């Protein structure tokens, strides 16, 4: 009996994250996501890609559907600058909440084109994909709200603010879960038992990226770091596979956040890779509306 | 006339869940003759995760509270991610891509990598990194994947970009080097830099 009580205490309350979220929290999330994209684009000298050798350009995603003449126009300094300025304009408009379904949909298309473009000169890396999918969720649920109110005969949608928030967290957790499942099943035991992590670390460190600590290739000389990397991979993979528990368990979230945050910081230190956008999306792993009544849905019974 | 109340199920939900998992395992085992086990195994584990949520009361309540349009949006967003993953394709259906990070073991020893090392007018050695000179690009492919012409073109483009940012100390020469790090390190050897070997030299000062 006591053991089961202790176990229950350890597991903590099992409640759906953001179930009580109200319009204010959704509004803040929209502002945060679009503001983050604006900052990313403001820091990006996209027009300089016109100088890159065209032989390296292998179109990704929707860019492969464009005719060669359109790609040629796009890959000029003017074409790239126009895409950047137009996308920034639409993102700023999305901050105002005016005609949000239309503006968010245009923003989603433009950001997809932008994200595809910057990946067309190399591998389609996973950074900021969930941030892009978050824009899809905001746009998709804004249309769903509009349709339900216009054609569904409803006067209000009490739980509507929680839908995009829970979906964004679900997509973030699903991305981790798929990474973990893929590594476990496709890689098998050999990934976890050999020197996989040292090799990946040295490879990433030798290549160098935007952030460049230049220490990862020293890893084989440091037995303690080798031990940490080897033992850390199965540990992190377990957290990745069980990431969907973040949707339901606050106790799990308070373990998940520092563990994965440390993992991402170590990836930056030894491999020069940083998932900056995912780190900011971790803010959505906090159940703000349970802590602050002002962020709850007006009709929610627990609203103070 | 009211419907009689439904008799409660005699089986505990955990037992139902276990039976479903076993049935799914059987199906996966049967289809694994036609579908690669890596796909079937991932699908099986993912189905277990999804099933756990399917039978979790707060999730049922939340999904049931959604209007139909919202359910469609939720289903399309999550379903597309899952389908994208099972295409095993990282480019065509972007942003619905295969989610693979460190998915297999490398057997390389030593680990090698090609890199551009530039020599400036004052004699300084600098690494020319695409991701730093063109920050839009998150990651470039390995340099050994390109033809000799493309590699030379890239070296000149990088030198030009570097010179625009450092007009006081421009690049005169770019060396294509292959860097190598041994696993484990040779005994008693302390390394300040990875060992490197010159593959090709490009003269930039001539403006060619």
The predicted-structure confidence for B42-73, as pLDDT tens digits, reads as follows 887 888 888 888 778 888 888 888 999 999 99
The string of pLDDT tens digits covering residues B137-152 is: 988 888 888 888 999 9
- Contact yes or no for B73 and A144 at CB 8 A: yes
Looking at residue A304, what is its pLDDT? 42
Average confidence (pLDDT) over A59-66: 93
Least confident residue range of A55-69, A97-111, B30-44: B30-44
Q: How far is residue A120 from each of residues A48, A161, B66, B90, measured CA to CA in Å?
A: 14, 35, 38, 11
Does the structure show a pLDDT above 90 at B33? no
Looking at residue A296, what is its pLDDT? 87
Of B59, B106, B157, the CB nearest to A52: B157
Does residue A158 fall inside a structural domain? yes
Looking at residue A303, what is its pLDDT? 47
Interface residue of A163, A187, A229, A244 to substitute, partner B, most B CBs within 10 Å? A163
State how far the Cα of B13 lies from the Cα of A153, in Å rounded to an integer: 36
Of B77, B102, B185, the CB nearest to A137: B77
The string of pLDDT tens digits covering residues B153-179 is: 999 999 999 999 999 999 999 999 998
Does the structure show a pLDDT above 70 at B12? yes
The DSSP bridge pattern shows strands B195-203 and B171-181 to be antiparallel
- Greater confidence (A78 vs A205) lies with A78
Tell me, yes or no, if A127 comes closer than 8 A to chain B by beta carbon. yes
Tokens of A121: 């000169």
Average confidence (pLDDT) over B32-48: 75
Does the structure show a pLDDT above 70 at B121? yes
Looking at residue B208, what is its pLDDT? 45
Average confidence (pLDDT) over A97-120: 95
Task: Show which of B51, B86, B121 is a domain's final residue.
Answer: B86
Least confident residue range of A138-142, B94-98, B197-201, B204-208: B204-208
- Greater confidence (B81 vs A159) lies with B81
Closest to A180 measured CA to CA, from B51, B102, B35: B102
Looking at residue A114, what is its pLDDT? 96
Average confidence (pLDDT) over A66-76: 94
Q: What's the whole-number average pLDDT of chain B?
A: 83
- DSSP string spanning A3-17? HHHHHHHHH--B--T
Task: Answer for the pair B46, A3: CB distance below 8 angstroms, yes or no.
Answer: no
Does the structure show a pLDDT above 70 at B189? no
The burial class, CB within 10 Å (0-12 / 13-18 / 19+), for A67 is exposed
pTM of the predicted model as reported, rounded to 2 decimal places: 0.89
Does the structure show a pLDDT above 50 at A258? yes
Exposure class string for B95-133: b at 16+ Cβ within 10 A, else e: bbbbbbbbbebbeebebbbbbbbbbbeeeeeeebbbbbb
Tell me, yes or no, if A104 comes closer than 8 A to chain B by beta carbon. no
Quote the number of domains for chain A: 1
Does the structure show a pLDDT above 90 at A129? yes
- Contact yes or no for A61 and B95 at CB 8 A: yes
Scanning A12-76, the segments in alpha helix (DSSP H) are: 23-42, 68-74
**What is the extent of the structural domain holding A203?**
17-295
Of A163, A175, A198, the CB nearest to B70: A163
Does residue B123 fall inside a structural domain? yes
Are both B65 and B125 inside the same structural domain?
no
Does the structure show a pLDDT above 60 at A245? yes
CA B199 to chain centre: 29
Ranges A190-199, A226-235, B21-30, most confident:
A226-235
Are both B122 and B185 inside the same structural domain?
yes
Average confidence (pLDDT) over A246-268: 92
State how far the Cα of A101 lies from the Cα of B161, in Å rounded to an integer: 40
Does residue A1 fall inside a structural domain? no
Please report which confidence band the pLDDT of residue B206 belongs to, taking 50, 70 and 90 as the band edges.
low
A:34-73 residues touching chain B, CB 8 A cutoff: 43-46, 48-49, 51-53, 55-56, 58, 60-62, 64
- Contact yes or no for A182 and B78 at CB 8 A: no
- DSSP string spanning A166-224? HHHHHHHHHHHHHHHHHIIIII-HHHHHSSHHHHHHHHHHHH--SS----GGGGGG-HH
The string of pLDDT tens digits covering residues A19-39 is: 889 999 999 999 999 999 999
For A177, what's the count of Cα atoms within 13 Å in the CB-facing half-sphere? 24
Tell me, yes or no, if A239 comes closer than 8 A to chain B by beta carbon. no
Does residue A8 fall inside a structural domain? no
The ipTM value here is: 0.92
Instruction: For residue B53, give how far its alpha carbon lies from the nearest alpha carbon of chain A (Å).
Output: 9
Are both B122 and B59 inside the same structural domain?
no
Does residue B145 fall inside a structural domain? yes
Tell me, yes or no, if A187 comes closer than 8 A to chain B by beta carbon. yes
- Greater confidence (B18 vs A89) lies with A89
Does the structure show a pLDDT above 80 at B34? no
Does residue B38 fall inside a structural domain? yes
Are both B151 and B190 inside the same structural domain?
yes
Average confidence (pLDDT) over A97-114: 95
Are both B74 and B158 inside the same structural domain?
no
What is the share, in percent, of chain A residues with pLDDT greater than 90? 60
Are both B190 and B118 inside the same structural domain?
yes
Average confidence (pLDDT) over A204-228: 84
Q: How many CB atoms lie within 10 A of CB A58?
A: 15
The string of pLDDT tens digits covering residues A161-170 is: 999 999 999 9
Tokens of A182: 């893929």
Does residue A152 fall inside a structural domain? yes
- Judging contacts by C-beta atoms under 8 Å, the chain A residues touching residue B141 are 56, 122-123
Does the structure show a pLDDT above 90 at B15? no
Looking at residue B1, what is its pLDDT? 43
Element (H, E) at B50: helix B37-54
Please report which confidence band the pLDDT of residue A221 belongs to, taking 50, 70 and 90 as the band edges.
confident
Does residue A304 fall inside a structural domain? no
Looking at residue A39, what is its pLDDT? 95
Please report which confidence band the pLDDT of residue A301 belongs to, taking 50, 70 and 90 as the band edges.
low
Instruction: For residue A75, give how far its alpha carbon lies from the nearest alpha carbon of chain B (Å).
Output: 13
Does the structure show a pLDDT above 60 at A1? no
Does residue B80 fall inside a structural domain? yes
Does the structure show a pLDDT above 70 at B186? no
Q: In what order do the strands lie in the sheet with B111-120?
A: B125-128, B111-120, B171-181, B195-203
Owner of token pair 């890779």: A273
Quote the number of domains for chain B: 2
State how far the Cα of A262 lies from the Cα of A235, in Å rounded to an integer: 12
- Greater confidence (B203 vs A46) lies with A46
Tell me, yes or no, if B186 comes closer than 8 A to chain A by beta carbon. no
Looking at residue A241, what is its pLDDT? 92
- Contact yes or no for A152 and B141 at CB 8 A: no
Does the structure show a pLDDT above 50 at B2? no
**What is the extent of the structural domain holding B133?**
111-203
Q: Could you tell me which residues are beta bridge partners of residue B118?
A: B126, B174
- Judging contacts by C-beta atoms under 8 Å, the chain B residues touching residue A198 are 183
**Angle subtended at Cα A214 by Cα A208 and Cα A219, rounded to the nearest 5 degrees:** 110
Tokens of A300: 């929610």
- Judging contacts by C-beta atoms under 8 Å, the chain A residues touching residue B45 are 181, 184-185, 241
């Amino acid at each position: 009996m006591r053991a089961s009580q202790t176990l229950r205490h350890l597991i903590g309350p099992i409640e759906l994250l953001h179930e009580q979220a109200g319009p204010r929290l959704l509004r803040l999330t929209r502002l945060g996501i679009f503001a983050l994209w604006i900052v990313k684009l403001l820091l990006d000298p996209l027009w300089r890609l016109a100088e890159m050798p065209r032989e390296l350009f292998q179109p990704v995603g929707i860019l492969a559907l464009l005719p060669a003449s359109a790609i040629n126009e796009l890959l000029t300094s003017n074409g790239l600058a126009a895409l950047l300025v137009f996308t920034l304009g639409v993102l700023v408009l999305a901050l105002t909440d005016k005609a949000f379904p239309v503006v968010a949909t245009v923003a989603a298309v433009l950001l997809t084109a932008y994200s595809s473009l910057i990946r067309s000169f190399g591998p389609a890396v996973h950074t900021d994909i969930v941030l892009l999918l978050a824009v899809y969720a905001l746009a998709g649920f804004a249309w769903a709200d509009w349709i339900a109110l216009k054609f569904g005969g409803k006067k209000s949608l009490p739980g509507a603010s929680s839908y995009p928030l829970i979906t964004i967290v679900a997509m973030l957790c699903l991305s981790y879960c798929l990474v973990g499942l893929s590594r476990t099943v496709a890689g098998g035991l050999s990934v976890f038992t050999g020197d996989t992590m040292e090799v990946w670390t040295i490879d990433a460190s030798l290549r160098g990226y935007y952030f460049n600590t230049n220490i990862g290739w020293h890893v084989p000389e440091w037995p303690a770091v080798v031990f940490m990397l080897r033992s850390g991979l199965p540990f992190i993979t377990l957290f990745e596979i069980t990431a969907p528990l973040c949707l339901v368990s606050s106790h799990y979230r308070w373990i998940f956040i520092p563990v994965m945050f440390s993992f991402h910081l170590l990836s930056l230190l030894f491999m020069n890779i940083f998932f900056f956008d995912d780190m900011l999306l971790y803010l959505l792993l906090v159940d703000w509306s349970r802590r602050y009544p002002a962020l709850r849905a007006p009709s929610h019974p627990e609203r103070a | 006339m009211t419907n009689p109340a439904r008799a409660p199920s005699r089986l505990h939900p955990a037992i139902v869940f276990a039976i479903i998992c076993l049935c799914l395992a059987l199906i996966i085992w049967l289809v694994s003759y036609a579908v690669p086990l890596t796909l079937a195994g991932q699908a099986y584990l993912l189905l277990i995760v999804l099933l756990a949520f399917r039978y979790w009361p707060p999730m049922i309540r939340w999904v049931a509270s959604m209007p139909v349009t919202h359910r469609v949006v939720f289903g399309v967003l999550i379903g597309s991610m899952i389908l994208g993953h099972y295409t095993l394709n990282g480019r065509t259906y972007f942003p619905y891509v295969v989610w693979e990070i460190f998915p297999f073991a490398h057997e390389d020893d030593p680990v090698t990598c090609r890199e551009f090392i530039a020599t400036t007018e004052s004699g300084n050695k600098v690494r020319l990194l695409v991701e730093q000179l063109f920050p839009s690009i998150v990651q470039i492919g390995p340099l050994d994947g390109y033809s000799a012409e493309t590699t030379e073109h890239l070296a000149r483009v990088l030198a030009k970009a570097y010179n625009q940012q450092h007009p006081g100390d421009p690049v005169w020469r770019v060396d294509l080097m292959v860097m190598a790090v041994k696993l484990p390190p040779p005994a008693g050897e302390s390394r300040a830099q990875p060992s490197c070997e010159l593959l090709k030299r490009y003269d930039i000062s001539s403006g060619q």
